[in-house]
Amino acid sequence: MIKGRIYKFGANVDTDAIIPARYLNVSEPAELAKHCMEDIDEEFANRIKAGDIIMATSNFGCGSSREHAPLCIKAAGVSCVIAATFARIFFRNSINIGLPLLECPEAVEGSCEGDELRVELETGVIENVSRDKKFQARPYPEFMGNIINSGGLIEYTRKKLVSG
């Protein structure tokens, strides 16, 4: 069970906004996390508390394929990202590295910055405690569920190779 406060963003938050390319001369998640969201919210990395949740409208994570984007969000302490829609590569990357994502336009519509959420990843149930409302996120396709349950793509690949 995840519990945290919402940081809300708009549409088309791109990977340059999540982690500007000028910091990509390193790849250590903790180093990257210091600059998470810097160009659209300078204070984000300082304000965020472990467990907090990023919420955004459509096409979150568009742009570059840089895995540094979900890595730095995760390392900043964000517990999950809830959006109306995600950009394709960002979605894959997050699943692969184990940053939980939930697609739920209704929850985005019905929640505001600072609201407190309770999220059950297994069922996709999102509860807005501040507003006493419940939402149901779209389920993952079974194929992706297998990757998530294996603990990410690397573990999944390892198991597959071992089992031949």
Partner 1 sequence: MTLAESILAGHSSREHVSPGEFLNVKVDMVLANDITGPIAIREFNKIGVNRVFDPIKVVMVPDHFTPNKDIASAEQAKTVRDFCRAQGCHYFEVGKVGIEHVLLHEEGLVLPGDVIIGADSHTCTYGALGAFATGMGSTDIASAMATGEIWMKVPHTIRFNYTGKPDQWVTGKDYILYAIGDIGVDGALYSAMEFGGEAVDSLTLEGRFTMANMAIEAGAKAGLFYCDEKTTKYVESRARKEYKIHKPDQNAKYARIIDYNVSQLEPQVAYPHLPSNTRPVSGASGVKIDQSVIGSCTNGRIEDLRLAARVLEGKKVKDDVRCIILPGSQAVYLDAIEEGLIEIFIRSGCAVSTPTCGPCLGGHMGILAAGEKAIATTNRNFVGRMGSPRSEVYLSNPAVAAASAVAGCIVSPDSL
- Which region holds residue 107: left if phi is over 0, alpha if psi is between -120 and 50, else beta? alpha
CA–CA separation, 19 and 22 (whole Å): 8
Q: How far is the CB of 163 from partner 1 (least distance, A)?
A: 12
Q: How far is the CB of 72 from partner 1 (least distance, A)?
A: 12
Angle (nearest 5°) at CA 70 between 85 and 61: 35
- Compare residues 67 and 115 and give the one whose CB is closer to partner 1: 67
Contact footprint for partner 1 (CB under 8 A): 12, 14, 16-17, 20-22, 24-27, 38-40, 58-59, 62-68, 70-71, 85, 87-89, 92-93, 96-97, 141, 143, 147, 152-154, 156-158, 160-161
- Compare residues 4 and 66 and give the one whose CB is closer to partner 1: 66
- Compare residues 97 and 121 and give the one whose CB is closer to partner 1: 97
Residue 55 CA: distances (Å) to CA of 1, 32, 145, 154, 161: 17, 20, 22, 27, 36
